[in-house]
Amino acid sequence: MKLFVLYFIAMMLVVGCGAGALNTASDVTEAMDEHTVEECSKNDFEMIGGDSGLTCRVRTGTQYFNFIEIYTFDGNAKEACKSNEFCEPIVDAPMALESIGASLRFHDNVMILLHGDNHADLVESLISDLQNG
φ, ψ at 41 (rounded to 5°): -140, 150
pLDDT in tens, 42-73: 999 999 999 999 999 887 666 767 788 999 99
Give the whole-angstrom CA distance, residue 83 versus residue 97: 19
**10 domain residue, yes or no:** no
**56 domain residue, yes or no:** yes
Which CATH number do you get for residue 95? Answer: 3.40.1000
Beta bridge partners of residue 57, listed in sequence order: 38, 67
Number of folded domains that form the chain: 1
**14 domain residue, yes or no:** no
HSE-CB of 91 using CA atoms within 13 angstroms? 15
> What's the DSSP call for residue 46?
G
**8 domain residue, yes or no:** no
**6 domain residue, yes or no:** no
**5 domain residue, yes or no:** no
Domain range spanning residue 96? 22-132
**71 domain residue, yes or no:** yes
Over range 111-132, report the average pLDDT: 78
Give the whole-angstrom CA distance, residue 106 versus residue 72: 10
